[in-house]
Structure 1
Amino acid sequence: MTLLITWSDAGPDTVVRRTTEPDEIAAALAPAGVRYEQWALRDDLPEDPDPATVLNAYRHEVDALAAAEEFATIDVVGLRPRKDLGWRLTAKAERKKFLSEHTHDDDDEVRFFVAGAGAFYLHVGSEVHAVLCEAGDLLGVPRGTKHWFDMGAAPSYTVIRFFHDEDGWVGNFTGSDIALKFPDFDALVAERMTMAQ
């Protein structure tokens, strides 16, 4: 169940909007140029598929979006919990990299969640939209939009990434500490679980 929470950018004390309805999420994000849609999940994928298998499974959707938006590069990335320390260090470094507010000057940030979950925080005008995405969600953050991403303390996700720029992910960090003011991924997951009860 995808969750959208909108607050004033002053802090999370006042909730402007809270919804798990896909149509309401799409409508709330559309004025900011944010694309939100859901794709049907493939139930025949193995638990930890390689990138080629993922791209083949979603070939029709990927090709249609790539043609419509003229994406130059498409790849598959993810993190899965492992018992070895190396995974923990990698996951911690990756999480820290994306947790600071940033923009992208030359590209949109478009992600389709094949498995797992992650939270995008969009700082648009005087509001912050937290979108807890899960398998089946496609989110497109327009270039120039201030945002950050949290994958949680124990990341578990697989995403298809779409880039117009062949250089891939290039972030311009704003230097703001705004991300520290808002509930993190794990808090959003807990809230979603409470709402589902």
Structure 2
Amino acid sequence: MSVLDVYADNNPGTAIIHLTDPARIAGELAAIGVRFERWDSPVVPPRDAPEAEVLAAYRPYLDQLMGETGAGSADVLRVGPDTEGWAQARRKFLSEHVHSEDEVRFFVHGQGNFILHVNDRVYNVCCTARDLISVPAGTPHWFDGGTTPDFVTLRIFTNTDGWIAQYTGSDIAASFSPEA
């Protein structure tokens, strides 16, 4: 189930907003420029499907999204509890950063949390299967896939070099990531 919890950035212990309805989550996030939606695909590929099969299953959505955003490529990211290098990658993702392009992810299987820091608020978005999130360029955020991750996502890029982060140097993520 998709969940949005919003906190004052100086009070990680108490959510001031808690939402589970995807339409309400989308509305709350739209107010800060973040796109959130659910895709209802008639075909959901198996968790271990080849990348080409996963991309083909979502091609109509990808073509429309890439046309809207000018994105140039998409790929599939699979992370599980046995993914080599996950602990090191997770530390990198848990540091607040920004990108020069929108960070667009669609969850095919599993879940992960995008945590955004906007206007003295922290927006913790638990994305689950069928959720699309697009974090605008320049928006401070971090990602938590957990200590035992299990997710498959589509990643959509404008820059064909892929994921490039500029770290903010803030330590706020440590206050909002209990398992860091």
Question: What range is the shorter-chain TM-score in?
Answer: over 0.9
Structure-2 separation of matches of 1:180 and 1:41: 36
Q: In the alignment, what sits opposite 1:156?
A: 150
Structure 1 segment 122-161 matched on structure 2, within 5 A: 122-161=116-155
Q: Which runs of 5+ in 2 are unaligned?
A: none
Structure 1 segment 158-173 matched on structure 2, within 5 A: 158-173=152-167
What CA RMSD, in Å, does the superposition of the two structures yield over aligned residues?
1.6
Given that 2:81 and 2:149 are in contact with CA atoms closer than 8 Å, whether structure 1 keeps it comes out as: yes
Q: Which runs of 5+ in 1 are unaligned?
A: 187-197
Change (3 A) 1:124 1:114: same
Deviations 1:28-67 (A, max 9, x none): 1112110000001455522311211100111111111111
Given that 2:118 and 2:139 are in contact with CA atoms closer than 8 Å, whether structure 1 keeps it comes out as: yes
Q: In the alignment, what sits opposite 1:178?
A: 172
After TM superposition, the structure 1 stretch with the greater mean CA deviation from structure 2, 177-186 or 49-58, is 177-186
Q: How far apart are 1:93 and its partner, in Å?
A: 1.4
More helix by share: 1
Deviations 1:64-94 (A, max 9, x none): 1111111012111111233xxxx3x511112
Q: In the alignment, what sits opposite 2:73?
A: 73
Given that 1:111 and 1:161 are in contact with CA atoms closer than 8 Å, whether structure 2 keeps it comes out as: yes
Q: In the alignment, what sits opposite 1:90?
A: 85
Structure-2 separation of matches of 1:151 and 1:102: 16
Aligned identity (percent) is: 43
Given that 1:150 and 1:184 are in contact with CA atoms closer than 8 Å, whether structure 2 keeps it comes out as: no
Report SS of the residue matched to 1:32: coil
Letter in 2 for 1:99: L
Given that 1:121 and 1:149 are in contact with CA atoms closer than 8 Å, whether structure 2 keeps it comes out as: yes
Given that 1:151 and 1:185 are in contact with CA atoms closer than 8 Å, whether structure 2 keeps it comes out as: no
Given that 1:132 and 1:185 are in contact with CA atoms closer than 8 Å, whether structure 2 keeps it comes out as: no
After the TM superposition, which segments of 4 or more aligned residues of structure 1 sit over 3 Å from their partners? 41-44, 183-186
Aligned length: 180
Structure-2 separation of matches of 1:90 and 1:3: 28
Length-normalised TM-score, structure 2: 0.94
Q: In the alignment, what sits opposite 1:102?
A: 97
Structure-2 separation of matches of 1:128 and 1:112: 21
Structure 1 segment 24-35 matched on structure 2, within 5 A: 24-35=24-35
